Amino acid sequence: MPEQVVVRPGGPLRGTLRVPGDKSISHRALICNALAPGEAEIRGLLDSADCRSTIACLRQWGVQFEESADRILVRSPGQDGFRPAAQVLDCGNSGTSIRLLSGVAAGLPFRSRFDGDESLRRRPMRRVLDPLTQMGAAVDLADTAPFWIDGAPGLTRGFDREIAVASAQVKSCIVFAALRAERPSRIVEPGPSRDHTERMLIAMGAGLDVRGAAIHVEPGAELTPQDLEVPGDISAAAYWIIAAAMTPGSEVLLPNIGVNPRRTGVIDVLRDMGVRVELVNRRDVSGEPVADIVARGGRLHPTLIDGDTVVRAVDEIPTLAVAAALADGVTEIRDAAELRVKESDRIATTASLLRAMGVEVEERPDGMRIVGGRLRGGELDSHGDHRIAMTAAVAALAADRESGPTTIRGAAAVEISYPSFWRDLDQLRHVAV
């Protein structure tokens, strides 16, 4: 994987592209099936560094995985049969691995030690460690990784309040711990974060009941393993949808994409900006809504991105900010302070990317103000953040032709969620118009 990539401004994007499996659903397919005694087959799993972190941690607890070309078999003794990990559970770059597995560790009768890479070691962990402590787990109350958790099969208390941030990682952590508590829990969400964990656990027979913003968990039910098919990742598709939107004359078909309503904020924002995005062939696959997405290019109008839309488009905001740079007016992003604690400070890294391409942008504590106009090719850096690397590529494609190519350093970061990204970029560009 090259560390540095040069991307020339492109003409229209044309063609059909299959994007890899959804990252969030892949982590959950592995973890939820690991909690259930027995075997399950997962098809379409994302094969990327983040999912490999989850697999490596679960292996240490005694879960077996058999990989073949198009599927992975999970064979587990169930959570009651887990054994202590011999080594620290290294979650690499993956916030989803460390936070979801912390919730599982809280229900295990031994100590689990967690750590991650430089970026993960900077990310806030009290948001999961505080609730786990309140539920009765003995926890090393560190602000950041590394930390340890001394779990217990029957946590003394349930959880009964609103969680502090609209975060699916925090919510899922508490849900996994609540499955092993002595008492029922009620977890109230402050915003509509992705609900893949709830959907999957309900299908596996967990005592979970979702009423509005409240998730009720009745502990103790034995989970049944589930064969699952993971749909294409809308967060990966979003790069092509936005790249197509920014280049008039483009038309891209992205088959088999997960379109869970808590993930489709990106489509709502683009439609608001005047982009034609169509969802066709809608169906349900393994309990998740799926569709084929057709994205086209056109003129872009400015918009306001705030409130629940931010929660429903949390990973797509940097790329939407790039689209806003070509809109005919001023776009504002508000209520997005969570972006500061992702794989990089995505408000800072996005603003600096836009500035490097000649865009007028004002950074704010919870968002930014972007003056639409044009993008000029330049020198960009991913800051080790996969989503910033791919956002940089989209910006480079849509830059003025006269301004020349863009050099993207730290391009290998795409390994985290979309290893074939640079190949797919070539494929879409080389299809004759």
Is residue 264 at the binding interface for ligand S3P, with CB under 6 A as the rule? Answer: no
Q: Which stretch binds ligand S3P (CB under 6 A): 166-174, 209-217, 371-379, 407-415?
A: 166-174
Query: Whose Cβ is closer to ligand S3P: residue 193's or residue 406's?
Result: 193
CB of 325 to ligand S3P, least distance (A): 22
Residues facing residue 115 across a β-bridge: 90
Find where tokens 């198009």 sit.
Answer: 70
- Evaluate the omega torsion of the peptide bond into residue 146 and state whether it is cis, within 30 degrees of 0: yes
Query: Whose Cβ is closer to ligand S3P: residue 14's or residue 194's?
Result: 194
Find where tokens 């169930």 sit.
Answer: 78
Q: Which stretch binds ligand S3P (CB under 6 A): 65-73, 101-109, 168-176, 285-293?
A: 168-176
Q: Quick check: 267 and 236 in contact, CB under 8 A?
A: no
CB of 331 to ligand S3P, least distance (A): 21
Please pick, from the candidates 169, 247, 303, 349, the single residue that binds ligand S3P as defined by CB under 6 A.
169
Query: Whose Cβ is closer to ligand S3P: residue 132's or residue 357's?
Result: 132
Query: Whose Cβ is closer to ligand S3P: residue 13's or residue 392's?
Result: 392
CB of 417 to ligand S3P, least distance (A): 8
DSSP-assigned states of every residue in 19-76: PPBPHHHHHHHHHHHHHSSEEEEEES---SHHHHHHHHHHHHTT-EEEE-SSEEEEEE
Q: Which stretch binds ligand S3P (CB under 6 A): 52-60, 111-119, 164-172, 394-402?
A: 164-172
CB of 86 to ligand S3P, least distance (A): 27
Q: Is 433 helix (H, G, I), strand (E, B) or coil?
A: coil
Residue 101 carries which side chain, given as an amino acid letter?
Answer: L
Please pick, from the candidates 90, 292, 338, 424, the single residue that binds ligand S3P as defined by CB under 6 A.
338
Rg (CA), the chain: 21
Is residue 414 at the binding interface for ligand S3P, with CB under 6 A as the rule? Answer: no
Distance between CA atoms of 62 and 51, rounded to whole angstroms?
17
Q: Which of 90, 195, 315, 424 is catalytic?
A: 315
Backbone torsions φ then ψ of 72, nearest 5 degrees: -135, 135
Is residue 416 at the binding interface for ligand S3P, with CB under 6 A as the rule? Answer: no
Binding letters toward ligand S3P, positions 179-208, x by CB under 6 A: --------------xx--------------
Is residue 313 at the binding interface for ligand S3P, with CB under 6 A as the rule? Answer: no
Q: Quick check: 66 and 73 in contact, CB under 8 A?
A: yes
- Exposed (0-12), middle (13-18) or buried (19+): which is 336, by Cβ within 10 Å? buried
Backbone torsions φ then ψ of 291, nearest 5 degrees: -150, 165
Distance between CA atoms of 376 and 406, rounded to whole angstroms?
8
Distance between CA atoms of 76 and 81, rounded to whole angstroms?
8
Query: Two tokens at 148?
Result: 């340890």
Is residue 167 at the binding interface for ligand S3P, with CB under 6 A as the rule? Answer: yes
The residues, any chain, with a CB within 8 Å of residue 211's CB and separated by 6 or more, are none
Sign of torsion, CA 352 353 358 359? Answer: negative
Is residue 319 at the binding interface for ligand S3P, with CB under 6 A as the rule? Answer: no
What is the H or E stretch that residue 330 is in?
Answer: strand 330-333
Is residue 96 at the binding interface for ligand S3P, with CB under 6 A as the rule? Answer: yes
Q: Which stretch binds ligand S3P (CB under 6 A): 167-175, 282-290, 298-306, 369-377?
A: 167-175
Is residue 424 at the binding interface for ligand S3P, with CB under 6 A as the rule? Answer: no
Query: Two tokens at 268?
Result: 């709502």
Is residue 24 at the binding interface for ligand S3P, with CB under 6 A as the rule? Answer: yes
Helical residues (DSSP H) of 180-233, grouped into ranges = 196-203
Cβ-closest residue to ligand S3P? 24
Sign of torsion, CA 89 95 96 102? Answer: positive
CB of 120 to ligand S3P, least distance (A): 12
Distance between CA atoms of 280 and 293, rounded to whole angstroms?
6
Please pick, from the candidates 29, 101, 168, 230, the single residue that binds ligand S3P as defined by CB under 6 A.
168
CB of 274 to ligand S3P, least distance (A): 26
- Give yes or no: 426 in active site: no
Q: Which stretch binds ligand S3P (CB under 6 A): 163-171, 242-250, 329-337, 377-385?
A: 163-171
Is residue 314 at the binding interface for ligand S3P, with CB under 6 A as the rule? Answer: yes
Q: What residue ranges bind ligand S3P (CB under 6 A)?
A: 24, 27, 96, 167-169, 172, 193-194, 314-315, 338
Q: Catalytic site residues?
A: 315
